[in-house]
Amino acid sequence: MPLQHNVFLLAFLVLNAISVASQSPFQIVFKSQPKTEPTGTFQFHHPIRRVAVVGAGPSGLQTTARLVEHNFTVRLFDRAPHPGGNWQYSEETPVRESYPDRRAGDYYAEIPAQIPTRRYYQEGDDGLTLDYRWREHWRPRPVWYNLFTNSPKVSTELPDVPYDPEVPWVLNHDTIQRHVRSYASHHCLNSNDYCPPKATPAAPPITSYSTRVERVEKDAETHTWVLTLRRLERLPESNRILEEWWTESFDAVFLAAGPWASTHVPDIAGIVDWSKAKVGEQYSVYHSQTYRHPERYAGKAVLIVGSSVSASEIARDISPYAHRIIASVRPPKELTVRRKLSLSRFPNATEIVPEIASFEPLKTHTDGIRGGKIHLVNGSVLQDIDEIILATGYRSSPLYPYNLTTRTPEDTLWSGHWAQDPTIAYSIGRTWTLGRYQAYGIAKVWAGKAQLPPLDRTEDGETKPPSMEWFGEDIFRRYITWLNEASLKYGGRFVDPPPIENLEALKYYSVVHFLTANVTALEDIGLSSISMLSQQFLVEDPWDALVDEDDD
Ligand SMILES: Cc1cc2nc3c(=O)[nH]c(=O)nc-3n(C[C@H](O)[C@H](O)[C@H](O)COP(=O)(O)OP(=O)(O)OC[C@H]3O[C@@H](n4cnc5c(N)ncnc54)[C@H](O)[C@@H]3O)c2cc1C
Ligand SMILES: NC(=O)c1ccc[n+]([C@@H]2O[C@H](COP(=O)([O-])OP(=O)(O)OC[C@H]3O[C@@H](n4cnc5c(N)ncnc54)[C@H](OP(=O)(O)O)[C@@H]3O)[C@@H](O)[C@H]2O)c1
Ligand SMILES: *[C@@H]1O[C@H](CO)[C@@H](O)[C@H](O)[C@H]1NC(C)=O
Ligand SMILES: *[C@@H]1O[C@H](CO)[C@@H](O)[C@H](O)[C@H]1NC(C)=O
Ligand SMILES: *[C@@H]1O[C@H](CO)[C@@H](O)[C@H](O)[C@H]1NC(C)=O
Ligand SMILES: *[C@@H]1O[C@H](CO)[C@@H](O)[C@H](O)[C@H]1NC(C)=O
Ligand SMILES: *[C@@H]1O[C@H](CO)[C@@H](O)[C@H](O)[C@H]1NC(C)=O
């Protein structure tokens, strides 16, 4: 197979952040029958003028910029107080995940009977602190202090605001955060920009931060989408929080709420009991979303559950401090190359153990978990553990349909439009690179300047979600060709493919990033193929490594 194939495979591995299985309630409520599958020229009920974008991460910001450029009246909502999406590091941590696991939608507030409405909260109202209300509303991000990208600069970059050439290939979260906010400012989408409206002075401001979209509902009479919105404002002078509820109607909605909206807590026997254990104010069992600093782990025995990126990267971060690091790894259902690479990133000192079968009930919850017993599926018992970090992944936003196992519903066109009603569109992923093209595609279709593409189907005629099988160059070519054909036919500017040098940079980055593997210990739990993979990487010339990898 050609070299290029490997390049694209690695590009996929490094770039593609695949959403985890989710059972979030479908908050998009229909009052009308869904339309039949659209292809080609789709007749919208009425011309699209008002558009809502949910999420001011890299995806939502780019799409907003393109929609504004196409003269739509746009409103951009984000629950966070600033743009940046996932890339807003804070010492604040999200409110504690629930034990047992709950569906993501359960976090959402009860919608008041009367809207619009407003209400002030004091410290301690309904037994909740103001701090808790605030954190529950915006959800501090699952980003830790020493987090660096697992994607190189060239593929973690937005257009218009290039990184300083001196910035290294490996970025820390802070560099990305400033980059994304620069992009937002460049397009007048930051939280404190002063941007007088140009064309229509009466137009509403584009951005509304600290605003959570609670519900997206189709009005059968007006054929518009009604968004139920909830904004919180901290009022430090009077030590209160102002909560406002209102609705707004839109002709179309772009959902870029990100795949990390809530956590996944594994359903292990006894976990609810263990989740109550504390040492002082510190819980002994917690999800990786609250992990921030490694120094705290000095001298501790830490059990990390999971074998993906969070698990191995947190293990690396704490390894200079921790006395003992154990990782509970279950044999992955599908041992993708991406997963093998994550496994290979565990530090040398990691003790790999099998999946946890159960936690033996604790005698007390005030003395941590050191005295407790953890039963593994192979019959062994673990003891003397100080803390357990559940690096067990995330679920997508409750705005997305029920039981979603992919980033987008099955019947999503590869452009991101929802086949049942293409006035809804989803961010299809790879937001730094493909997101740039998707932003054009969304604006063009809604402006009547591009035709909807057909649904992808399997050989059996089943519909397939976009992007998962169209990695690397394929999806780029497909998207760029579609956009430029539309521009030829309906007018509009032409788009270039990403520079070929980016792929080269990506190759080198990937090889260096993953070369330091020592995964001998994984053989003990029957994952010997991973060791073989790491051997493949141990070649002198990175280009050879990529050719070898073709056999996988
Ligand atoms: C720990 C971690 C590390 C990562 N490392 C990398 C990396 O190294 N390289 C890489 O390329 N990617 C990485 N990612 C993936 C990361 O998600 C992407 O880089 C990128 O942020 C995705 O952009 P997005 O715009 O699709 O979503 P996000 O950046 O997640 O933005 C979504 C936005 O939607 C908002 N939102 C959600 N629900 C609502 C609602 N109901 N109402 C209003 N607003 C809402 C959120 O507040 C958020 O700001 C990492 C992710 C995590 C969790
Ligand atoms: N830049 C960085 O360094 C960085 C750091 C962290 C995260 N990220 C990104 O963030 C995203 C999320 O990564 P993530 O690692 O947090 O989540 P993830 O990829 O969804 O991984 C969740 C892990 O938990 C495991 N798991 C779930 N239940 C388990 C159980 N009962 N017992 C044992 N293991 C269990 C899963 O195993 P199964 O596969 O068997 O289900 C999987 O290994 C990824 O896109 C990643 O690239 C990037
Ligand atoms: C948007 O409006 C401006 C001013 O009327 C016009 O010059 C421009 O061509 C319009 N853009 C698109 C994409 O229609
Ligand atoms: C793991 O061991 C190898 C071989 O001794 C070494 O090159 C590498 O630096 C070690 N990695 C870490 C994270 O200590
Ligand atoms: C269970 O797995 C661990 C880690 O691989 C190993 O040390 C232990 O001996 C195993 N126990 C049994 C009973 O096989
Ligand atoms: C989603 O999952 C829940 C719980 O497993 C189940 O009760 C429900 O029927 C599922 N819904 C759909 C649409 O499949
Ligand atoms: C790799 O790890 C294994 C088991 O942890 C260890 O015995 C071995 O010495 C390590 N190899 C290198 C090259 O460091």
Q: What is the C-alpha to C-alpha distance for residues 291 and 540, in angstroms, rounded to an integer?
A: 36
DSSP 215-234: EEEEETTTTEEEEEEEEEEE
Q: Which of 360, 392, 424 is the last residue of a domain?
A: 392
* Sheet with strand 356-359: strands edge to edge: 356-359, 374-376, 381-382
Tell whether 269 is covered by a domain: yes
Residues 402, 253 share a domain:
yes
Instruction: Note the pLDDT tens digit of each residue in 135-171.
Output: 999 999 999 999 998 888 888 999 999 999 999 888 9
Going from the Cα of 268 to the center of ligand 3, the distance in angstroms, rounded, reads: 57
Which pLDDT value is given to residue 32?
41
Instruction: Note the pLDDT tens digit of each residue in 363-406.
Output: 999 999 999 999 999 999 999 999 999 999 988 787 887 666 67
**Greatest Cα pair distance in the chain:** 73
Residue with CA nearest ligand 7 atom 10 = 518
Going from the Cα of 510 to the center of ligand 3, the distance in angstroms, rounded, reads: 42
Residue 20 pLDDT > 50: no
Query: Is the separation of the CB atoms in 472 and 498 below 8 Å?
Result: no
Tell me the β-bridge partners of 241: 121, 234
Q: What is the C-alpha to C-alpha distance for residues 413 and 452, in angstroms, rounded to an integer?
A: 8
Residue with CA nearest ligand 2 atom 9 = 309
Six token digits for residue 290: 């609250």
Q: Spell out the SS3 assignment of 251-281.
A: CEEEECCCCCCEECCCCCECHHHHCCCEECC
| Ligand 3 atom index nearest CA of 492 | 13
Going from the Cα of 517 to the center of ligand 4, the distance in angstroms, rounded, reads: 8
Residue 431 pLDDT > 70: yes
Instruction: Please list, in sequence order, all residues whose beta carbon lies within 8 angstroms of the beta carbon of residue 165, skipping any fewer than 6 positions away.
Output: none
> Does 518 contact ligand 7 (Cβ within 6 A)?
yes
Identify the residue with better confidence: 501 or 250. 250
Instruction: Please list, in sequence order, all residues whose beta carbon lies within 8 angstroms of the beta carbon of residue 238, skipping any fewer than 6 positions away.
Output: none
Q: How many domains does the chain have?
A: 4
Which pLDDT value is given to residue 339?
73
Q: Judge residue 227's burial from the number of C-beta atoms within 10 Å of its C-beta, 0-12 exposed, 13-18 middle, 19 or more buried.
A: buried
Residues 250, 117 share a domain:
yes
Ligand 2 pocket test, pick from 23, 267, 392 with the greatest ligand atom count within 8 Å of Cβ, gives 392
Residue 426 pLDDT > 60: yes
What DSSP element (H or E) covers 134?
Answer: helix 130-138
Query: Is the separation of the CB atoms in 176 and 88 below 8 Å?
Result: no
CA dihedral 350, 356, 360, 361 (to 10 degrees): 100
Residues 342, 230 share a domain:
no
Model-level pTM greater than 0.85?
yes
Which pLDDT value is given to residue 337?
61
- β-strands 73-77, 207-208: how paired? parallel
Which pLDDT value is given to residue 107?
61
Going from the Cα of 56 to the center of ligand 1, the distance in angstroms, rounded, reads: 9
Going from the Cα of 239 to the center of ligand 7, the distance in angstroms, rounded, reads: 56
Residues 252, 133 share a domain:
yes
Which amino acid, residue 271? I
Residue with CA nearest ligand 6 atom 6 = 403
Q: Please, which contacts does 456-463 make with residues 24 or more away whose CB atoms are closer than 8 Å? A: 456/413, 456/414, 462/410, 463/410, 463/411, 463/419
Alpha carbon 523 to chain centroid, angstroms = 31
Identify the residue with better confidence: 259 or 237. 237
Going from the Cα of 71 to the center of ligand 3, the distance in angstroms, rounded, reads: 6
Ligand 6 pocket by C-beta < 6 Å: which residues?
Answer: 23, 402-403
| Ligand 2 atom index nearest CA of 333 | 40
Residues 136, 168 share a domain:
yes
Q: What is the C-alpha to C-alpha distance for residues 74 and 206, in angstroms, rounded to an integer?
A: 6
Q: Name the least confident of 115-119, 300-304, 473-477, 497-501.
A: 473-477
**Mean pLDDT confidence for 478-501:** 92
Residue with CA nearest ligand 7 atom 4 = 521
Identify the residue with better confidence: 25 or 449. 449
Which pLDDT value is given to residue 201?
64
Q: What is the C-alpha to C-alpha distance for residues 260 and 394, in angstroms, rounded to an integer?
A: 5
Tell whether 376 is covered by a domain: yes
Q: Which of 448, 481, 497 is the last residue of a domain?
A: 497
Residues 298, 213 share a domain:
no
**Mean pLDDT confidence for 223-240:** 96
Q: Residue 215 maps to which CATH number? A: 3.50.50.60
Instruction: Name the nearest CA neighbour of 485 among 455, 440, 421, 446.
Output: 440
Instruction: Name the nearest CA neighbour of 309 among 190, 149, 426, 156.
Output: 149
Tell whether 548 is covered by a domain: no
| Ligand 6 atom index nearest CA of 401 | 13
Residues 489, 446 share a domain:
yes
Tell whether 445 is covered by a domain: yes
Residue 64 sits at φ, ψ, to 5 deg, of -60, -45
CA dihedral 476, 478, 479, 481 (to 10 degrees): 110
> Does 348 contact ligand 7 (Cβ within 6 A)?
yes
Six token digits for residue 199: 């064309």
Q: What is the C-alpha to C-alpha distance for residues 450 and 493, in angstroms, rounded to an integer?
A: 12
Going from the Cα of 328 to the center of ligand 4, the distance in angstroms, rounded, reads: 21
> Cis peptide leading into 100, omega within 30 of 0?
yes
Which pLDDT value is given to residue 511?
65
Which pLDDT value is given to residue 42?
67
Q: What is the C-alpha to C-alpha distance for residues 423 and 443, in angstroms, rounded to an integer?
A: 11
Identify the residue with better confidence: 269 or 461. 269
Which pLDDT value is given to residue 345?
83
Q: Which of 392, 410, 429 is the last residue of a domain?
A: 392
Tell whether 547 is covered by a domain: no
Residues 222, 163 share a domain:
yes
Q: What ligand is nearest to the CA atom of residue 210?
A: 1
Tell whether 326 is covered by a domain: yes
Measure Cα distances from 389 to 25, 120, 331, 481 in Å: 27, 36, 18, 45
Which pLDDT value is given to residue 355?
95
Q: What percent of the chain has pLDDT over 70?
A: 79
Q: Name the least confident of 75-84, 216-225, 317-326, 510-519.
A: 510-519
Mean pLDDT over each residue of the chain, to the nearest integer: 83
Residue 8 pLDDT > 90: no
Identify the residue with better confidence: 245 or 501. 245
| Of 52-56, 463-467, 541-545, highest mean pLDDT | 52-56
Q: Name the least confident of 168-177, 264-273, 278-287, 517-526.
A: 517-526
Tell whether 47 is covered by a domain: yes
Q: Name the least confident of 122-136, 177-191, 336-350, 487-501.
A: 336-350
Task: Give residue 56's domain range.
Answer: 31-264+395-497
Residues 170, 37 share a domain:
yes
Which pLDDT value is given to residue 333?
75
Tell whether 16 is covered by a domain: yes
**Mean pLDDT confidence for 230-255:** 97
**Mean pLDDT confidence for 417-434:** 91
Residues 173, 124 share a domain:
yes
Interhelix angle 337-344/528-537, nearest 10 degrees? 80
Residues 529, 429 share a domain:
no
Residue 27 pLDDT > 50: yes
Residues 53, 78 share a domain:
yes
Provide the pLDDT confidence category of residue 30 given band limits of 50, 70 and 90: very low
Residue 467 pLDDT > 90: no
Q: What ligand is nearest to the CA atom of residue 521?
A: 7
Residue with CA nearest ligand 7 atom 13 = 518
Q: How many residues does the chain have?
A: 552
Measure Cα distances from 260 to 21, 163, 304, 372 in Å: 11, 25, 19, 31
